[in-house]
Amino acid sequence: MSGALVVVGASVRALAECAGRVGWRTPRSPILAVDAFGDDDTRAVTDAWQHLPLSDLARPARVLRAIAQVLDQTAAARTVDDPMQVLLGGGFDGRPDVIEAIASRYALLNNLPPVWRAARAPMLFVDAGIPTPETRLSCPARLSGWLCKRPEGSAGIGVRLADVDGPIWQRRVAGRPASLLFCAHRDGVLALGFNRQWCSPTPGLPFRWGGVASRADLGSAIEREVLAWATRLAGQLGLRGLNSLDFVVGRDGQPWALEINPRPSASVELYDRDAPGLLSLHRAAVRGEPLPNWQAPAGSRALAVVYAERPLRTAARPAAASDWRCGARIRPGAPLCSIHAVAPTAELAARRARRAATIAL
């Protein structure tokens, strides 16, 4: 890869590590980070870091300023002869104005802005004929059994028990949260892996994202159906590169589509740690080039997010932790770190990660 790569998002450590594993970090191709945390791992695998508060992810001018500031920190990034690209992670879903502002100034190594906008259309799955929980744009007469969603929400932050404020109401479906990580390319869709997900709820955030485990076995019938959804959405939206499709498997075994994330998701690193190369797949697909060979790893990895339960100042890093900031002051409810675990199955990996996360507190 030639030229600087600027990775921008709420937390970019995982994507920066993926870029390093495929050899994109060289003296003439620095990897630069813009995110809200600047943890020790992120700084170790990048050439410069610039702070972007979570509240500024929705402000185009401040995002552009942060990108310009991180570029100014590295002389190699200002080399005129080499193109520079921006890779977006989480934090921009439902914020097409921000993505459009970035794309107007820099080359995006992502889906195009209209794709991001279309992916957050409230009736996307209904219009595509894909099973999804009943969805309304007007308040139901009785709120019991309904949820409210905001299109700009991510990591479960934008989902709550229903009230009159909306703006999107969706019937609640009990079941097992899951996702499909896939690569959309010029010739179709490549399924990379199905994943198990879970929540880390609080009274105010009942659906706060808790973690993910890779290579879940959901049964061939469910996996075929969800892959068909992804293929249909890729054609309808014009998806390219790494994307993820969130869904829930109801108690009766019926899968229901919940959300499409038109970007590399948190599950990417669970596969890339043992089988590097997912960003090479992503880049080739975005450019419309043939995909390089990639073989999924054996076994499962899991990642559990640890949230601070009280104000604290970090010291020694817990075992198997990433996203750690030594000496940082952490407020209650804020992410403290991520805990990793490996196992032969997704269920066992998830249990190990969640158990270790409890010990880390």
pLDDT tens for residues 291-338?
A: 999 999 999 999 999 999 999 999 888 888 999 999 999 999 999 999
CB atoms within 10 A of CB 139: 16
Q: What are phi and psi of 347, to 5 degrees?
A: -65, -45
- Measuring CA to CA, which residue among 3, 246, 240, 260 is closest to residue 112? 240
Task: Find the mean pLDDT for residues 128-140.
Answer: 96
Q: Which tens digit of pLDDT belongs to each residue from 242-287?
A: 999 999 999 999 999 999 999 999 999 999 999 999 999 999 999 9
Q: What is the pLDDT of residue 291?
A: 96
| 37-40 LR contacts (CB < 8 Å, sep 24+) | 37/11, 37/13, 37/323, 37/325, 37/335, 38/325, 39/11, 39/13, 39/322, 39/323, 39/324, 39/325, 39/337, 40/317, 40/324, 40/325, 40/326
Q: CA 209, CA 222: separation in Å to the nearest integer? A: 23
What SS3 state is found at 70?
helix
Diameter of the chain measured on Cα atoms: 61
What is the C-alpha end-to-end distance of the chain, expressed in Å? 40
- Give residue 162's pLDDT: 87
- Report residue 299 as tokens: 């076994």
Q: Which of 132, 152, 147 shows the shortest CA–CA distance to 233?
A: 132
Q: Which amino acid is at 261?
A: N
Q: Report the relative pairing of strands 300-307 and 209-213 from DSSP bridges.
A: antiparallel
pLDDT score for 116: 96
What whole-number distance in Å separates Cα of residue 153 and Cα of residue 85? 25
Q: Are 274 and 293 contacting, i.e. CB atoms less than 8 angstroms apart?
A: no
Q: Is pLDDT of 83 > 80?
A: no
Could you tell me the pLDDT band of residue 183, with boundaries at 50, 70 and 90? very high
C-alpha dihedral over 234, 239, 242, 247, to 10 degrees? -50
Q: Which residues of 181-202 are buried (b: 16+ CB within 10 A; e: fewer)?
A: bbbbbeeebbbbbbbbbbbbee
For residue 100, how many other CB atoms are within 10 A of its CB? 15
List the alpha helices (DSSP H) in the chain. 13-21, 40-44, 60-72, 96-105, 113-119, 124-128, 220-237, 268-272, 278-287, 346-360
- Of 29-38, 70-79, 101-110, 310-319, the one with minimum mean pLDDT is 70-79
Q: What is the spatial order of strands in the sheet that 5-8 belongs to?
A: 48-51, 31-35, 5-8, 85-88, 107-108
Do 284 and 185 meet the contact criterion of CB atoms below 8 Å apart? yes
Residue 60 predicted with pLDDT over 50: yes
List of domains in the chain: 5-110 (3.40.50.20), 119-287 (3.30.470.20), 300-360 (no CATH)
What pLDDT shows up at residue 320? 86
> Mean pLDDT over all residues of the chain?
93
> What is the pTM for the complete model shown?
0.94
Residues 6 or more apart whose Cβ sits within 8 Å of residue 178: 194, 195, 196, 197, 216, 218, 246, 247, 248, 249, 255
* Nearby residues of 217 by Cβ (< 8 Å), 6 or more positions away: 194, 345, 346
Q: Concatenated DSSP letters for 156-172?
A: TTTEEE--TT-SEEEE-
The conformation of residue 121, written as its DSSP 8-state character, comes to -
Residue 80's pLDDT band, with cuts at 50, 70 and 90, is very low
- Decide if 250 contacts 132 (C-beta within 8 A): no
Name 176's bridge partners: 249
CB of 45 within 8 A of CB of 126?
no
| For residue 49, pLDDT beyond 50 | yes
Cα separation, 335 vs 157, in Å, equals: 13
Per residue in 145-181, pLDDT tens? Answer: 999 998 877 777 889 898 988 899 999 999 999 999 9
Which whole number is the average pLDDT over 115-128?
Answer: 96
Tens-digit pLDDT profile for residues 191-202:
999 999 999 999
The token pair that represents 154 in the structure block:
């991510």
